[in-house]
A = this chain, B = another copy of it.
Amino acid sequence: MSEKVEFLQGNEACAEGAIAAGCRFFAGYPITPSTEIAERMSERLPEVGGVYVQMEDEIASLAAVIGASWAGVKAMTATAGPGFSLMQEHMGFAAMTETPCVIVNVQRGGPSTGQPTKASQSDVMQARWGSHGDYEIVALSPSTVQEMYDLTIECFNWSERLRVPAVLLADEVVGHMRERVVLREDVEVVDRELPEEGEEIEEPFPLEPDDHVPPMPVFGRGHRVHVTGLTHDERGYPATDDPEVHRKLVRRLCNKVRKRAREIHESVGYDFIERESDLALVAYGGCARTVLEAAEELGATVFRPKVIHPFDADLVRKLLDGYEVLVVEMNLGQYVEMVERALDAECVHLLGHPGGYPPTPERVIKEAERIQG
């Protein structure tokens, strides 16, 4: 089907991926360098019977997305750093209420307004730690326009499977560049499990087993559930004074993601190119393009995760133990902190490269040589 091969911007491919994944609701607020996603959604959604709404800010955008998800519709928003910061309270609400939703963050340079039109990977830790409290999310990082399409679909799928907010942690490099993309039609689309319509649900929010994902009693189907961001018991009712309820609830919210770390990594995939070398390069997202090129020249091993969160320390250990590891990021050091936990910190090195562009392959090679020699 030649008509499904396109030459698109990463942001456009992301919007197409969302629609292929079944997204029928988008609420957003424009922000560079993510705006093209909203723009394409505003054009495409009405074509497929979906709704685009531009909200008054990012807080409202994620709220509306969560509302739409409880109305039973797959929903997404897209933003960049400043908007992502504003969404943090609702990231936590989505985690607490186990609402599937997808948040795209096309990273630009920060802190603050920073470099609005330039690339960065400095919201990597924020994606996991940006909201208060104990929670976990899923975050995937694309390196190509094709992956902007594919990983958006994966975000929806994991979000629906686990009832967690999923973050497409993109960056301006992949968001703005154009490449060939195959808009596959045969994509696997996962839909949240629903209870039977009209069924009264005894325990919509069971506390156990500790990694359980309960079916989602979306609104308007007669379940008459109460959904709250307060600590809640199995019935969904506020139970803010009971330490055991809180402990079990947050443990389940975290474990349903943590315990599936390997499964997510295996299913989404990663690049591991093993070469005869003491040196392994690690990179992700737009920056990985440089690193793959440099590694080839260096004859070094490369690990390119697509799953950023949950971090799988065992997998990283398994793959990279014994190497001198150079992590290359467009920031002053974020993913590297997780790698340091997994490996012997002394063997882990960082090429932190903020400034708006990925380092050139030459820059990476120079750094690799410095470490090795």
CB under 8 Å from chain B, chain A span 131-158: 131-135
In the complex, A126→B88 CA distance in Å? 10
A357 at the A/B interface (Cβ < 8 Å)? yes
A301 at the A/B interface (Cβ < 8 Å)? no
Please, which residues of chain B bring their CB within 8 A of the CB of A254?
Answer: 332
Name which of A82, A120, A132, A244 has the most chain B CB atoms within 10 A of its CB. Answer: A132
Task: Tell me whether B92 and A89 are in contact (CB under 8 A).
Answer: no
Annotate A86-113 by CB proximity to B: 1 below 8 A, 0 otherwise: 1011001101110000000001011111
Given A122-B133, A133-B114, the answer on whether A89 and B86 have CB atoms closer than 8 Å is yes
Interface residues on A, range: 35 or more
A231 at the A/B interface (Cβ < 8 Å)? yes
Task: Tell me whether B113 and A354 are in contact (CB under 8 A).
Answer: no
Given A88-B88, A254-B332, the answer on whether A240 and B114 have CB atoms closer than 8 Å is yes
CB under 8 Å from chain B, chain A span 323-373: 331-332, 337, 340-342, 344-345, 353-357
In the complex, A364→B344 CA distance in Å? 28
In the complex, A342→B340 CA distance in Å? 9
Chain B: CB-nearest residue to A89: B85
Binds B, one of A2-10, A177-185, A245-253, A268-276: A245-253
CB distance from A131 to the nearest CB of B (A): 5
Name which of A111, A113, A125, A134 has the most chain B CB atoms within 10 A of its CB. Answer: A111
**Which residue of the partner chain, among B80, B134, B337, contacts A111 with CB atoms under 8 Å?**
B134
A236 at the A/B interface (Cβ < 8 Å)? no
Task: Tell me whether B131 and A85 are in contact (CB under 8 A).
Answer: yes
In the complex, A247→B356 CA distance in Å? 9
Task: Tell me whether B111 and A243 are in contact (CB under 8 A).
Answer: no
Task: Tell me whether B134 and A354 are in contact (CB under 8 A).
Answer: yes
Task: Tell me whether A82 and B86 are in contact (CB under 8 A).
Answer: no
In the complex, A120→B342 CA distance in Å? 26
In the complex, A92→B120 CA distance in Å? 15
Chain B: CB-nearest residue to A251: B332
Please, which residues of chain B bring their CB within 8 A of the CB of A354?
Answer: 134, 246-247, 250-251
In the complex, A337→B92 CA distance in Å? 20
Please, which residues of chain B bring their CB within 8 A of the CB of A110?
Answer: 92, 96, 131-135
A285 at the A/B interface (Cβ < 8 Å)? no
Task: Tell me whether B97 and A112 are in contact (CB under 8 A).
Answer: yes
Please, which residues of chain B bring their CB within 8 A of the CB of A299?
Answer: none
A237 at the A/B interface (Cβ < 8 Å)? no
A12 at the A/B interface (Cβ < 8 Å)? no
A230 at the A/B interface (Cβ < 8 Å)? yes
Please, which residues of chain B bring their CB within 8 A of the CB of A126?
Answer: 88, 129-132
Task: Tell me whether A112 and B134 are in contact (CB under 8 A).
Answer: no
Task: Tell me whether A357 and B132 are in contact (CB under 8 A).
Answer: no
Chain B: CB-nearest residue to A317: B345
Task: Tell me whether A356 and B118 are in contact (CB under 8 A).
Answer: no
A81 at the A/B interface (Cβ < 8 Å)? yes
11 contacting pairs across A/B (C-beta < 8 A): A81-B92, A81-B133, A88-B130, A112-B131, A120-B133, A123-B132, A129-B129, A134-B332, A247-B355, A251-B332, A342-B345
For the complex of A and B, the 4 pairs showing the least CB-CB separation, nearest first, are A110-B133, A81-B132, A243-B355, A111-B133
* 15 further A-B pairs in the complex, CB-CB below 8 A; given A120-B133, A129-B130: A85-B131, A95-B112, A109-B246, A110-B134, A114-B246, A115-B246, A116-B230, A122-B132, A122-B134, A125-B125, A130-B130, A134-B331, A247-B353, A247-B354, A344-B344
